[in-house]
């Protein structure tokens, strides 16, 4: 058993992968709580896809990929915010157009590159086991900045997320906070793309927070559960990936999805199975009470 | 239009308590405001004295909520000037508490009663800081005032409609504002809650703070408020609350949608449009005043 757990950690790529997956998981869990409660899941997906052309252009220009990804992701996140404010089209329509268009642009650029580009492929599907020490430093710094900003503005972000009008009337700069939130989502996505890939990053944002929402009623408890789900999934997913020799990012996401499904079924608050059992118990109590009422 | 304006006499919109000259909490001059497709306020002039307890009444779509949003600084007018507590609304925001309509709130949001009331303190606490002893005391006091101290740890979605309004009023109280702007604070709540909330707002008004609330409930406007403003795109009339009993003003405000029946010493007002979710054709009768 000890060998089973310690064995894989003899490999440097597993150590780095584990650290990276946990760091990314924590940042995604915290931002995911806001994404889920603000209904920004679709935006998260759009922003991650929009990062792709940025990555390809950075590759073609020979500059660090994450810079290209960051510019494209944060730029798209802010552009979506601006579209939302103008409101000429239905919001999800505008996001859908932007999302597919930018990704298509990335694919077209990608197809002009001759030969196999392992780096860029790893951004599409994620390759947490290919992460270098320098990547970890990058993730730690950018993720740390995101967490620091959220920590400083925790009350304001929560208030503006819950009641935008009330928060604005009391003097909070809600428009600035909105753009800041979108920008932070953009940075979080860039940080996460290398680990789990463009296509699955939205799961890292949404699934742990959604699991928390099924289980608890308080915002910061939700964040704690999301962090726990992320860490457990990162560790479990990596071991699954190691022993079954399957894709690492996808394994992490699958474990998260499994935990979400368990919460859906068994949550004491809202679980389908537990909830039903509760309902039955209430019916039984009523049945017992009824005769006395009739008398 | 001009005829209706004349009916109320001039000056139309000066709302002052008996002891004039009173300080003015809110002053709107020629304010036109609305949304991209629609003008909701048309050249509104309104002065609200400090310490007023003002009900804004009018049919659906009359611009009541828009008026509150303009005063709160949530909506910039197309033209005209808005002066609140001696400054621009955004500049005095910390001294304003705004309570949105219940339908505007996501009740499934994972926050507790205590969390919501503490939000009233957020602008006062400041960025990066945690609530201090004073903030917790303000939250405790506000929860006591609205009789919700025992529900501090409940999620807001688990509360009844009346309890939700109590919690939002507590959030406003905790902010210790000089101006309360409340959108439909007592619509659809039980009588006890309505009486409790209005007693609290009355006490705030007595203490020199200004309360402006929209309402669909004409009986409540007459009973619980000190002043009333009739709105339908503009201010049709304003003055002491018993103006609510004036059939001519009601007709001018509600048009054909109101039927005023003199019934002995009472006025029965039928405003068939005033309950948003009432089934079509359902009618509600209110005693005007005793």
Rg (CA), chain B: 19
DSSP class of B152 = T
Mean pLDDT for B215-233 is 88
pLDDT for the residue numbered B268: 52
| Interchain contact, B119 vs A166, CB within 8 Å | yes
- The 10s digit of each residue's pLDDT in B32-63 is 998 877 888 889 999 999 999 999 998 888 89
Q: Which residues of A touch B73 (CB under 8 A)?
A: 168-169
B157 → chain A, closest CA residue: A217
- The 10s digit of each residue's pLDDT in B90-119 is 899 999 999 999 888 889 899 999 999 999
Q: Is the pLDDT of residue B279 over 70?
A: no
A88 → chain B, closest CA residue: B36
Question: How are the residues of chain B apportioned to helix, strand and coil, as percentages rounded to the nearest 5?
Answer: 35, 25, 35
pLDDT for the residue numbered A277: 46
- The 10s digit of each residue's pLDDT in A165-214 is 999 999 999 999 988 998 999 999 988 988 888 888 899 999 999 999 99
Strands B235-240 and B14-15: unpaired
| Interchain contact, A152 vs B127, CB within 8 Å | yes
Q: Is the pLDDT of residue B289 over 70?
A: no
Residue B218 tokens read as: 């004409």
| Interchain contact, B122 vs A165, CB within 8 Å | no
In angstroms, the CA A32 to CA A233 distance is: 15
Q: Is the pLDDT of residue B281 over 50?
A: no
In angstroms, the CA A182 to CA A47 distance is: 9
The domains found in chain B, sorted by start residue, are 2-287 (3.40.50.300)
Closest C-alpha among B138, B144, B141 to residue B120: B138
Q: Which residues of B touch A221 (CB under 8 A)?
A: 110
pLDDT for the residue numbered A275: 56
Place of tokens 């537990």: A274
In angstroms, the CA A50 to CA A201 distance is: 12
Closest C-alpha among A192, A191, A214 to residue A203: A192
pLDDT for the residue numbered B149: 93
In angstroms, the CA A200 to CA A270 distance is: 26
pLDDT for the residue numbered A94: 79
3-class secondary structure per residue, chain A: CHHHHHHHHHCHHHHHHHHHHHHHHHHHHHHHHHHHHHCCHHHHHHHHHHHHHHHHHHHHHCCCHHHHHHHHHHHHHHHHHHHHHHCCCCHHHHHHHHHHHHHHHHHHHHHHCCCCCHHHHHHHHCCHHHCCHHHHHHHHHHHHHHHHHHHHCHHHHHHHHHCHHHHHHCCCCHHHHHHHHHHHHHHHHHHHHHHHCCCCHHHHHHHHHHHHHHHCCCHHHHHHHHHHHHHHHHHHHHHHHHHHCCCHHHHHHHHHHHHHHHHHHHCCCCCHHHHHHHHHHHHHHHHHHHHHHHC
Mean pLDDT for B70-82 is 93
Q: Is the pLDDT of residue B4 over 80?
A: no
Among A154, A162, A169, A220, which would you mutate to test the B interface (most chain B Cβ atoms within 10 Å of its Cβ)? A169
State whether the Cα torsion A270-A273-A278-A280 is positive or negative: positive
Residue B111 tokens read as: 């926050």
pLDDT for the residue numbered A251: 92
- The 10s digit of each residue's pLDDT in A243-288 is 999 888 889 999 999 999 999 998 887 778 775 444 444 444 444 4
* Confidence band for A6, pLDDT divided at 50, 70 and 90: confident
Among B82, B97, B105, B111, which would you mutate to test the A interface (most chain A Cβ atoms within 10 Å of its Cβ)? B111
Q: Does A213 touch chain B (CB under 8 A)?
A: yes
pLDDT for the residue numbered A281: 46
pLDDT for the residue numbered A288: 41
B177 → chain A, closest CA residue: A170
Q: Does B116 touch chain A (CB under 8 A)?
A: yes
Cα B250 to the center of its chain, rounded Å? 19
Is residue B110 within 8 Å of B119, Cβ to Cβ?
A: no
Residue B289 tokens read as: 């005043």
- The 10s digit of each residue's pLDDT in A111-153 is 888 776 767 777 888 888 888 898 899 899 999 999 999 999 9
| Interchain contact, B111 vs A37, CB within 8 Å | no
| Interchain contact, A169 vs B110, CB within 8 Å | no
pLDDT for the residue numbered B285: 36
Residue-averaged pLDDT of chain A? 85
Residue bearing the bigger pLDDT, A40 or B209: B209
Residue bearing the bigger pLDDT, A163 or B221: A163
Between the alpha carbon of residue A72 and those of residues A27, A42, B56, B86, the distances in Å are 20, 17, 48, 45
Q: Which of A37, A170, A219 sits opposite B93 (nearest CB)?
A: A170
Domain layout of chain A by residue ranges:
9-294
- The 10s digit of each residue's pLDDT in B158-208 is 999 999 999 999 999 999 999 999 999 988 888 899 999 999 999 999 999
Backbone angles phi, psi at B59, to 5 degrees: -70, 170
pLDDT more than 90, % of chain B: 53
Pick the CATH number of A9-294 from 1.10.3720.10, 3.30.450.20, 1.10.3470.10, 3.40.640.10: 1.10.3470.10
Q: Does A156 touch chain B (CB under 8 A)?
A: yes
pLDDT for the residue numbered A244: 93
State whether the Cα torsion B242-B266-B264-B270 is positive or negative: positive
A33 CA to chain B: closest CA distance, Å?
Answer: 10
* Confidence band for B255, pLDDT divided at 50, 70 and 90: confident
């Amino acid at each position: 058993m000890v060998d089973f757990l310690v064995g894989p950690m003899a490999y440097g790529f597993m150590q780095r992968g584990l650290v990276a997956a946990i760091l990314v998981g924590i940042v995604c869990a915290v931002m995911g709580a806001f994404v889920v409660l603000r209904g920004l899941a679709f935006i998260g997906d759009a922003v991650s896809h929009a990062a792709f052309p940025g990555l390809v252009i950075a590759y073609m220009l020979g500059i660090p990929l994450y810079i290209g990804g960051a510019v494209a992701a944060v730029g798209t996140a802010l552009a979506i915010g601006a579209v939302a404010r103008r409101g000429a089209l239905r919001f999800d329509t505008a996001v859908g157009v932007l999302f597919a268009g930018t990704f298509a642009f990335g694919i077209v650029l990608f197809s002009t590159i001759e030969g196999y580009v392992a780096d860029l492929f790893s951004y599409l599907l994620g390759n947490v086991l290919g992460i270098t020490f320098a990547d970890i430093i990058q993730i730690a710094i950018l993720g740390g900045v995101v967490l620091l900003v959220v920590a400083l503005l925790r009350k304001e972000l929560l208030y503006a997320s819950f009641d935008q009008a009330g928060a604005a009337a009391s003097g909070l700069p809600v428009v600035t906070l909105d753009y800041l939130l979108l920008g932070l989502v953009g940075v979080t996505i860039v940080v996460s793309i290398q680990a789990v890939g463009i296509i699955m990053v939205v799961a890292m944002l949404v699934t742990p927070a959604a699991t928390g929402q099924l289980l608890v009623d308080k915002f910061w408890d939700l964040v704690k559960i999301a962090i726990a789900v992320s860490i457990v999934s990162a560790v479990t997913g990596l071991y699954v990936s190691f022993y079954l020799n399957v894709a690492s990012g996808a394994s992490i996401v699958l474990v998260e999805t499994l935990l979400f499904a368990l919460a859906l079924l068994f949550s004491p608050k809202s679980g389908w199975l537990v909830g039903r059992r509760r309902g039955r118990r209430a019916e039984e109590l009523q049945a017992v009470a009824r005769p006395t009422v009739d008398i | 239009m001009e005829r209706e304006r004349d009916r109320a006499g001039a000056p139309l919109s000066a709302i002052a308590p008996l002891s004039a000259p009173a300080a003015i909490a809110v002053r709107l001059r020629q304010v036109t405001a609305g949304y991209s497709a629609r003008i909701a306020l048309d050249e509104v002039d309104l002065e609200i004295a400090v310490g007023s307890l003002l009900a804004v009444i009018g049919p659906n779509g009359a611009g009541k909520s828009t008026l509150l949003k303009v005063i709160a600084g949530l909506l910039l007018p197309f033209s005209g000037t808005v002066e609140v507590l001696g400054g621009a609304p955004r500049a005095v925001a910390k001294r304003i508490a705004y309570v949105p309509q219940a339908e505007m709130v996501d009740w499934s949001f994972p926050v507790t009663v205590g969390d919501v009331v503490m939000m009233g303190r957020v602008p006062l606490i400041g960025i990066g800081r945690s609530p201090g002893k004073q903030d917790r005391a303000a939250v405790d006091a506000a929860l006591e005032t609205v009789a919700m101290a025992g529900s501090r740890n409940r999620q807001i979605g688990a509360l009844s409609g009346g309890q939700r309004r109590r919690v939002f009023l507590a959030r406003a109280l905790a902010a210790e504002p000089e101006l309360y702007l409340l959108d439909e604070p007592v619509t659809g709540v039980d009588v006890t809650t309505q009486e409790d909330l209005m007693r609290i707002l009355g006490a705030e008004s007595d203490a020199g703070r200004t309360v402006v609330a929209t309402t669909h409930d004409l009986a409540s406007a007459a009973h619980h408020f000190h002043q009333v403003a009739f709105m339908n795109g503009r201010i049709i009339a304003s003055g002491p609350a018993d103006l609510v009993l004036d059939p001519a003003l009601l007709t001018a405000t509600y048009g054909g949608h109101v039927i005023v029946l003199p019934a002995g010493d009472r006025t029965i007002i039928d405003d068939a449009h005033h309950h948003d979710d009432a089934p079509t054709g359902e009618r509600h009768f209110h005693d005007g005043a005793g």
